[in-house]
Structure formats: structure tokens, C-alpha cells
Amino acid sequence: MAVHLKSDLQETHEINVTPFIDVMLVLLIIFMVAAPLATVDLPVDLPASNAAPHEKPDKPIYVTIQGDLALALGETPVKRNDLVSALDALLGDKSKRIYLRADTSVPYGEMMAILERLRAGGYLRVALVALDAGGKEQAAQ
């Protein structure tokens, strides 16, 4: 009587992938549920802009808001209360475009206050100046 124990007790060297697939499916479901909860979504309706950069005039009039919130008209420092009168003395024509530059550290409220002051003074053509990808100034009109 010969017993063939060797073939019955032979080890299998195959990987059982069923538990691995089960774990991956559970992780997939967890991430599918958790991903939308992790994103911050504020309901903001932003305007679209496809404006191309415009050429600057020969002598643009810059109003600059510096990092310390000081104002300058061209290169000349000016007080907030004197901004419109200084523009009137310099230009005399309220239909000319004014270019507003602001330091990146200037709060949004301060910039809006200057825009409101210009609007109240009759200057409605204001362009915001930014840097393009090449580091050159460009105005959004």
C-alpha cells in the first residue's frame, strides 16, 4: 500500500487577490464619498475676461497705492483728500484714462475706496494695472 501524500499536501504558490480587491473597493468607496466633502466650494459668480492687453498711451497717468497705503500721482506723493483736485489740476479732462497700480499687500477695501473716490470725482475711465507672464505691466480696462 503506497500512500501518495506528497501530491495532496503540496503547497500552492499563487497569490489570492480576492482580499486585496475587496480592500481596494472599500477604499475606493470611502474616497468617492469623502472627496466631495473635502473640497471648499464658495458660491462666487466670477466675471470672465478675455481682454487682450491694450497699448499704453505715450504719457499714462498713474495713481499708485503703495504698500504702506500712501498714494502717489505719477511720482508725486499726494494725500487722499487731494487726489481728485490734483488730477483735475494735472489733466483738466475727466475723459482721459487713469491707470491704477496697487501693491500686492494693499487690502481690497483700500483699493475699492480709491476707486470710489475717483468715481465720485468724475473719473470713470480707470484701468487696473497688473503684471503679465513676462513681468511687464499690462492694463485691464
Per-residue pLDDT band for 3 (boundaries 50, 70, 90) equals: low
**Topology classification of domain 61-130:** Nucleotidyltransferase; domain 5 (3.30.420)
Average pLDDT, the chain: 78
Mention every residue, 6+ apart, whose C-beta is less than 8 A from residue 86: 73, 76, 78
Query: CA-CA distance, 99 to 127, in Å (whole number)?
Result: 5
Whether pTM exceeds 0.95 = no
pLDDT tens track for 50-75: 556 667 677 888 888 888 888 888 88
The predicted pLDDT at position 28 comes to 94
The predicted pLDDT at position 24 comes to 94
